[in-house]
Amino acid sequence: MARSTFSGPILSGQNRFGPLRDIGYSVLEQDAYIDFSVTTGSGTAGYAGGSGQFVVSNTIPNLPGQLYTPQAGVAAAAPTTASPPADTATNIYRGVIMYLPQNCQIFDFIVDMPTAMSGITATPTGVNLYISNGITANGGTPTYASVALGTTTTGTAGRQTVTYSATQLNNLLSTTLDIQNPQNGTQPAWFSQLVFTVGIAAASGLTAPTAGQFNFVVRYAQPDLNIGNTTTYPYGNFD
């Protein structure tokens, strides 16, 4: 079957001309599946990364992903690379990195845990998922959303409840300019970075989970940055 990739945005509708246009944005999604029992063999299905290493969403099977320090729209010679913190006896992080078009509107996140985490040798003081534009330390406030997975347990299997503050709901309206495109020219100048961070904290003696599965999904729309400009982007587009 043929496959096509569009530079976007993807608009759909029946009436593209006149005052009663019914054109709307198509909803896009990215997803990633990780299995904490898969800790070796980068490039294998479900690979969950490891100490100081997250995986990227848009490769099949999973490969190590590159985390960047968000630039907040400030131009630089090149984006600054970053790494998740390495495992310690008090904090462990695992996660997934996604790259979105700039200024996307995020509609929602789906966080499924088919199998609860297990194999940790200490009693956690907190197990949380942080959804942000960069790494979020345990106890921190993410840009977009969070999930409380447990306090003295490592979570319960099933679809998780994603929570949003008023500030986070406003942040969902337009993703930030995080990564300056090193191949800019004919391509857009910026990416938005989206990071799902599973953070596990304990008083001491913490080890990484040896089992547990997550499926992360984000649904969003790519905006038309030229909408309303009839010179560079006619309203009717092409027949």
In a domain, 231, yes or no: no
Specify the pairing of strand 145-150 against strand 63-64. Answer: unpaired
- Closest Cα partner for 129 from 172, 175, 84, 160? 160
Backbone angles phi, psi at 168, to 5 degrees: -65, -35
pTM of the model: 0.90
In a domain, 19, yes or no: no
In a domain, 234, yes or no: no
C-alpha angle 76-53-139 in degrees, rounded to nearest 5: 85
In a domain, 104, yes or no: yes
In a domain, 49, yes or no: yes
Domain extent for 63 = 30-69+79-196+204-221
In a domain, 232, yes or no: no
In a domain, 14, yes or no: no
Specify the pairing of strand 145-150 against strand 126-132. Answer: antiparallel
- Closest Cα partner for 101 from 8, 4, 5, 192? 192
Please tell me the total count of domains within the chain.
1
In a domain, 9, yes or no: no
pLDDT profile of the chain (239 residues), mean per 10: 71 80 87 93 89 86 91 81 96 96 95 94 93 96 95 85 98 94 70 96 94 96 72 51
pLDDT for the residue 76: 74
